[in-house]
Chain A
């Protein structure tokens, strides 16, 4: 099945620093790619997605570009805030499409802590 490898954390940054969290994938076909964020004590929230090669997903200042050549989907933000402190998960579905996409396969998660 499809798989994803996410950079190990934790990541600690000062406010307004640049953020990169690396994610690479192995997949059959070209599935959509996702970043989810999990704040303390909460469920997963969809942060952004990209559905095909060279697509750029963006939300709340975060961006990630679907790179088919390097099989990567790295998450970036130009200036992090304390409120961005959370766990970030890269994910992709197992299914190849159609009416059912199967389960999501997640990376192990990257803990981000941003200090004032």
Chain B
């Protein structure tokens, strides 16, 4: 069974530029999560989807972050414009019960 796929794995951009991350969850998993992991810390939730619906986006900085999950499968997380403090690892996870499975993450560096 294929795991959660994310791309790109690494991204380096200059501040104020836009950036987008893509996630393909495990087949059949209705719930999809985006987490932010800062260096030396545990992941923190940005947004959770149940199928196409964003059911928890309370921690998503909506002035610059946006996300979508069209057709309830793949998802895209966007930052526009990026700031220096956005440098981190962005993790996507999916679940069909209480167990979440994570992708390899996208490491973003903002210069």
Which residues of A are in contact with B by a Cβ distance under 8 Å? 31-32, 34, 36, 41-46, 49, 51, 89, 91, 93, 95, 97, 100-104, 106-109
Contacts and interface: CB of A to CB of B under 8 A. Distances in A.
In order of increasing CB-CB distance, the 4 nearest A-B pairs are A106-B42, A103-B45, A44-B102, A43-B104
A32 B74 CA distance: 27
A51 B107 CA distance: 32
Interface of B: 4, 6, 31, 33, 40-45, 48, 50, 55-56, 91, 93, 95, 97-105, 107
A91 B102 CA distance: 13
Nearest to B47: A103
Q: Specify the main secondary structure of chain B where it touches its partner.
A: strand
Contacts of B95: 101
A100 B102 CA distance: 17
Nearest to B46: A103
27 contacts: A31-B98, A32-B98, A34-B99, A36-B102, A41-B107, A42-B104, A42-B105, A43-B91, A43-B103, A44-B43, A44-B93, A45-B102, A49-B99, A91-B42, A93-B98, A95-B98, A100-B31, A101-B97, A102-B56, A103-B33, A104-B43, A104-B100, A106-B42, A106-B44, A108-B42, A109-B40, A109-B42
